[in-house]
């Protein structure tokens, strides 16, 4: 990876001091010669996406933002809300839920809980995740929020919070409703959030079967049997939605998420999901270039008690690129000129851009890693004079 130590100014006097920028340069797998990337698989599903988990890069997409019926893919959000309640201390895995008549009478896929029975939260979660139980989903929703409608309010709250711009939920199960819709892209965003935010609970999505009330049912995700790299996530089917599958797999540290919505059959949705995953793993690779809070540069600060402020990123920075092209990456910085105190911690000071040839494959805001306070009256006056003279004569004393 090439590192370009160049400042690109938006205008004004060049007054920022740039230190050496160093990439982590630690690929997650051995690099090979560049591999030509062929056209992505053309699937028959209504819409689909292939997204890298770490970078968020969409590698393949078709009608990614078109509204579709999510069917039981809905239960990914139902699970997200439940896991938030667990992490917040408002719910416990060994907590006992009393099953209502509404939950017992749920239509569609079920885990076969009985009305007025006492069921542990963990069993209900596994019934929802593995058996896709509508009864389990309603029982959890009622226990957490009082009734399903209130629980749906939580689902829509988190949808907004996660940036699912074209999603609205009307129930916790995925049964058809004109106000119940999502998109392939939004499902990928949600799947990423669930895996990222709740790794300790995500393990349930890899379980192939669950027995409750003497009834053993298999996970409907066929890829769990076909591909050892696949460890989730959720199937869905209604007449309106067709056959849907949100799948995730990890190979050699690279995790991909494939979303297939509106396939023709169970077999087709599995085959098409596998095709997307195989394509992504074969022709792309993902690298972590920088860590959160890693110092990448320093900027000159005027009228400040400290002359410089360290700059970095708020989150780990990953890029997904065609296989074998890591050495072609080029990092560039753009910093705000004439930076004056006070500077707040987290204040955006510039931008880091990663180029692959003429294409920008990643960009992140550079922020101040610490705060910098103003200097005293004398220091501010001296710096003011230096800036004035620098502007007057077209230069500055840091060049």
Residues labelled as active-site residues:
72, 75, 132
Q: Give the three-class secondary structure for 261.
A: strand
Among 273, 280, 281, residue whose Cα is nearest residue 45: 273
Residue 290 CA to residue 28 CA, distance in Å, equals: 13
- Residue 154, phi then psi, degrees to nearest 5: -65, -40
- According to DSSP, residue 150 is labeled H
370: alpha, beta or left, given left = phi > 0 and alpha = psi -120 to 50?
Answer: beta
Q: Of 311, 299, 304, 283, which Cα lies nearest the Cα of 376? A: 304
Longest distance between any two alpha carbons in the chain, whole Å = 86
Overall residue count recorded for the chain in this entry: 399
Q: How far is C-alpha 302 from the geometric centre of its chain's CA atoms?
A: 38
**For the range 377-383, what are the long-range contacts, defined as Cβ-Cβ under 8 Å and sequence gap of 24 or more?**
379/303, 379/304, 379/305, 380/303, 383/302, 383/303, 383/340
User: How far is CA 283 from its chain centroid?
Assistant: 21
User: In 237-304, which residue ranges form alpha helices assigned H by DSSP?
Assistant: 266-283
Is the Cβ–Cβ distance between 67 and 181 less than 8 Å?
A: yes
47 to each of 67, 174, 258, how far by Cα in Å? 9, 18, 11
- Which of 174, 90, 176, 88 lies closest to 128 in space, CA to CA? 174
d(CA 11, CA 197): 41
């Amino acid at each position: 990876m090439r590192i370009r130590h160049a400042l690109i100014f938006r205008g004004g006097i060049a007054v920022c001091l740039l230190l050496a920028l160093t990439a982590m340069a630690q690929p997650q797998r051995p690099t090979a010669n560049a591999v030509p990337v062929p056209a992505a698989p053309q699937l028959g599903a209504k819409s689909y996406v292939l997204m890298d988990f770490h970078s968020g890069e969409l590698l393949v997409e078709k009608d990614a933002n078109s509204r579709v019926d999510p069917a039981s893919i809905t239960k990914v959000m139902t699970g997200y809300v439940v896991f938030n309640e667990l992490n917040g201390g408002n719910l416990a895995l060994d907590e006992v839920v009393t099953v209502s008549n509404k939950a017992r009478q749920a239509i569609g896929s079920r885990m076969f809980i009985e009305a007025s029975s006492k069921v542990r939260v963990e069993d209900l979660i596994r019934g929802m995740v593995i058996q896709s139980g509508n009864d389990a989903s309603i029982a959890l929703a009622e226990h957490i929020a009082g009734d399903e409608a209130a629980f749906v309010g939580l689902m829509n709250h988190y949808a907004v919070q996660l940036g699912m711009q074209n999603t609205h939920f009307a129930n916790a199960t995925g049964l058809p409703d004109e106000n119940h819709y999502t998109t392939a892209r939004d499902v990928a965003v949600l799947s990423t959030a669930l895996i990222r935010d709740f790794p300790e609970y995500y393990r349930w999505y890899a379980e192939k079967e669950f027995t409750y009330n003497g009834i053993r049912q298999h996970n409907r995700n066929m890829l769990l049997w076909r591909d050892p790299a696949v460890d989730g996530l959720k199937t869905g089917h209604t007449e309106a939605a067709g056959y849907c599958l949100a799948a995730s797999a990890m190979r050699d540290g690279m995790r991909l998420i494939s979303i297939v919505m509106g396939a023709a059959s169970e077999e087709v949705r599995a085959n098409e999901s596998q095709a997307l995953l195989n394509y992504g793993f074969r022709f792309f690779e993902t690298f972590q270039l920088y860590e959160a809070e890693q110092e990448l540069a320093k900027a000159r600060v005027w009228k400040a008690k400290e002359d410089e402020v360290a700059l970095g990123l708020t989150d780990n920075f990953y890029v997904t690129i065609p296989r074998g092209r890591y050495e072609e990456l080029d990092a560039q910085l753009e910093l705000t000129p004439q930076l004056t105190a006070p500077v707040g911690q987290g204040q955006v000071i510039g931008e880091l851009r990663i180029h692959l040839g003429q294409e920008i494959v990643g960009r992140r805001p550079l922020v101040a890693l610490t705060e910098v306070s103003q200097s005293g009256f004398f220091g501010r006056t001296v710096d003011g004079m230096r800036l004035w003279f620098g502007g007057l004569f077209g230069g500055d004393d840091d060049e």
